[in-house]
């Protein structure tokens, strides 16, 4: 009976692994298709995806045939990579603009949000719950509601058309405080009490106990912050007028594949 159960368990494991691998391949296929198609020439792209591209140029136009999905190009070329990475420096310039902005926002928000979350979760001070409720209200406000106040503050600080107009609102976002605070509340207070008995202060408790125990939540926050700020369009479109200071997300939103040579 035990041997039969072991066989059934192994069969279930194999089925689960096979299903997981199939689903993973299904999700990876669009990425593989994009990478392989990036080595196609302009003529081959038009032949395979001309119907879709013509429909994108003329909204509402009927597509008379299906796209021809190909994973292996007929003729491999790196001409488009040469144009984007070497011949035209705008792509790399905006890429490093995005790296600088996003990396700064990630580091700043993790630091500020973790300290604020520790205070809200583990330090008892007057009006703590009321102040956290205000954080929740700010987080629930749409971007359009805070756009005008942010612009006025940035203009008062003379940050318009500077990276700081994007970085500072991102660093002091209320979402990170909410996310980390909800996790830190679940950390047992016995750890903190034991550290206080040993003479540790709040900074030592925060840095040596709370931060290591919150690394999973911090990793999740870093991923969410990266995804949110790497694809930002509205903020740089409004606050950054100089094209050389804008992030890559604005450049990609203006790329026309039919003009790539």
At a CB cut-off of 8 Å and minimum separation 6, what does 154 contact?
160, 164, 165, 168, 239
Domain shared by 111 and 207, yes or no = yes
Query: Is the pLDDT higher at 58 or at 88?
Result: 88
Q: What is the mean pLDDT of residues 50-70?
A: 60
d(CA 216, CA 214): 6
- Asked, for residue 154, whether it belongs to a domain, the answer is yes
For the cut 60, the answer to whether the pLDDT of residue 17 exceeds it is: yes
Domain shared by 162 and 73, yes or no = no
Domain shared by 46 and 118, yes or no = no
Instruction: Read off the pLDDT band of 256 (50, 70, 90).
Output: low
Give the tens place of pLDDT for each residue, 90-111: 888 888 999 999 999 999 999 9
Query: Is the pLDDT higher at 12 or at 189?
Result: 189
Torsion angle of C-alpha atoms 181, 183, 188, 192, degrees rounded to 10? -50
Instruction: Read off the pLDDT band of 258 (50, 70, 90).
Output: very low
First CA to last CA distance, the chain? 67
For the cut 70, the answer to whether the pLDDT of residue 191 exceeds it is: yes
Domain shared by 118 and 189, yes or no = yes
Of 38, 67, 84, the residue that ends a domain is 84
- Asked, for residue 216, whether it belongs to a domain, the answer is yes
73, 40 contact by CB (below 8 A):
yes
Instruction: Read off the pLDDT band of 252 (50, 70, 90).
Output: confident
Domain shared by 221 and 197, yes or no = yes
- Asked, for residue 240, whether it belongs to a domain, the answer is yes
For the cut 60, the answer to whether the pLDDT of residue 62 exceeds it is: no
Of 54, 84, 114, the residue that ends a domain is 84
Q: Look up residue 61 and give its DSSP letter.
A: P
C-alpha gyration radius of the chain: 25
The pLDDT value given to residue 125:
86
Instruction: Read off the pLDDT band of 179 (50, 70, 90).
Output: very high
Domain shared by 108 and 236, yes or no = yes
Number of H helices, E strands in the chain: 14, 0
Domain that holds residue 166: 90-253
Domain shared by 68 and 97, yes or no = no
The pLDDT value given to residue 6:
46
Q: What is the mean pLDDT of residues 102-122?
A: 93
Domain shared by 229 and 133, yes or no = yes
Q: What is the mean pLDDT of residues 23-41?
A: 86
For the cut 50, the answer to whether the pLDDT of residue 257 exceeds it is: no
Q: What CATH number does the domain containing 133 carry? A: 1.10.3720.10
* Burial call 146-179: b when 16+ CB within 10 Å, e when fewer: eeeebbeebeeeebeebbbbbbbbbbbbbbbbbb
The pLDDT value given to residue 120:
93
The pLDDT value given to residue 261:
43
Q: What is the mean pLDDT of residues 186-214?
A: 90
- Asked, for residue 199, whether it belongs to a domain, the answer is yes
Q: How many domains does the chain fold into?
A: 2
- Asked, for residue 123, whether it belongs to a domain, the answer is yes
Backbone angles phi, psi at 143, to 5 degrees: -60, -35
Of 38, 57, 84, the residue that ends a domain is 84
Q: How far is CA 172 from CA 175, 177, 187, 241, in A?
A: 9, 9, 24, 23
- Asked, for residue 129, whether it belongs to a domain, the answer is yes
For the cut 70, the answer to whether the pLDDT of residue 4 exceeds it is: no
Give the tens place of pLDDT for each residue, 156-177: 999 999 999 999 999 998 899 9
Domain shared by 188 and 137, yes or no = yes
* Whole-number average pLDDT of the chain: 83
The pLDDT value given to residue 223:
94
Domain shared by 105 and 218, yes or no = yes
- Asked, for residue 258, whether it belongs to a domain, the answer is no
- Asked, for residue 166, whether it belongs to a domain, the answer is yes
260, 42 contact by CB (below 8 A):
yes
Domain shared by 140 and 247, yes or no = yes
Domain shared by 60 and 26, yes or no = yes
Dihedral over Cα of 240, 246, 250, 255: its sign: positive
């Amino acid at each position: 009976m035990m041997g039969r159960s072991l066989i059934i368990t192994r069969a279930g494991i194999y089925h689960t692994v096979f299903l997981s691998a199939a689903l993973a391949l299904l999700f990876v296929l669009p990425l593989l298709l994009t990478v392989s198609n990036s080595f196609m020439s302009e003529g081959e792209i038009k032949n395979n995806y001309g119907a879709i591209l013509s429909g994108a140029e003329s909204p509402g136009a009927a597509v008379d045939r299906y796209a021809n999905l190909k994973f292996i190009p007929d003729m491999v070329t790196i001409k488009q990579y040469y144009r984007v990475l070497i011949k035209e420096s705008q792509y790399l310039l905006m890429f490093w603009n995005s790296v600088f902005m996003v990396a700064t926002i990630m580091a700043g928000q993790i630091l500020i949000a973790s300290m604020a979350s520790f205070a809200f979760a583990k330090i008892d001070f007057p009006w703590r719950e009321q102040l956290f409720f205000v954080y929740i209200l700010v987080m629930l406000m749409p971007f359009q509601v805070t756009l005008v106040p942010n612009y006025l503050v940035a203009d008062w600080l003379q940050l318009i058309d500077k990276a700081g107009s994007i970085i500072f609102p991102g660093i002091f976002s209320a979402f990170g405080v909410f996310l980390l605070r909800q996790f830190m509340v679940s950390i047992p207070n016995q750890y903190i009490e034991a550290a206080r008995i040993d003479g540790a202060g709040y900074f030592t408790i925060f840095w040596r106990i709370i931060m290591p125990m919150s690394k999973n939540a911090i990793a999740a926050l870093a991923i969410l912050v990266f995804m949110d700020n790497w694809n930002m369009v509205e903020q740089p479109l409004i606050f950054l007028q100089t094209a050389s200071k804008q992030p890559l997300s604005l450049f990609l939103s203006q790329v026309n594949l039919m003009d790539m040579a």
